[in-house]
Amino acid sequence: MKNSLKKLVNEVKVKLNEDKGTNILKTILKKDYKQFVASLGKHVNDPKFIAAIEKLSDKAPVKTTSIAPACTDLRPTQNEVVLDKSLSYPLKDPGNVESYLKGGTVSVAGKSIVTGGGGTFVIDGHHRWSQLFCINPDAKISAMDLTDIKEPLQALKATQLGIAAQTGEVPKAAGGGVNLFTIGQDELKKYVIDNIQEPVVEVFKKYGKGDTPEAVANYIWENVKLLKSKSKPVSGAPKRDVMPQTDDAPQWVDNTFNVEKLPETFVRRLKKLMTYNKK
- The answer to whether 141 and 105 are in contact (CB under 8 A) is yes
In the chain, % of residues over pLDDT 90:
80
Stretch 232-242: mean pLDDT: 95
pLDDT above 80 for 262: no
pTM (2 d.p.)? 0.87
DSSP string, the chain: -HHHHHHHHHHHHHHHHHHHHHHHHHHHHTS-HHHHHHHHHHHTT-HHHHHHHHHHHHHSPPPEEEE--BGGG-EESSS--BHHHHHTTGGG-HHHHHHHHH-SEE-GGGS-EEEETTTTEEEE-HHHHHHHHHH-TTSEE-EEEETT--SHHHHHHHHHHHHHHHHSS-------S-BTTT--HHHHHHHHHHH--HHHHHHHHHTTS-SSHHHHHHHHHHHHHHHHHHSPPPTT---GGGS--GGG-TTGGGG---GGGPPPPHHHHHHHHHHHHH-
- The answer to whether 126 and 159 are in contact (CB under 8 A) is no
Domain boundary assignment for the chain: 62-255
Query: How would residue 9 be classed by pLDDT, with cut points 50, 70 and 90?
Result: very low
The per-residue pLDDT for range 88-143, each reduced to its tens digit, is 999 999 999 999 999 999 999 999 999 999 999 999 999 999 999 999 999 999 99
The per-residue pLDDT for range 60-84, each reduced to its tens digit, is 999 999 999 999 999 999 999 999 9
Residue 57 to residue 69: CA distance in whole angstroms: 27
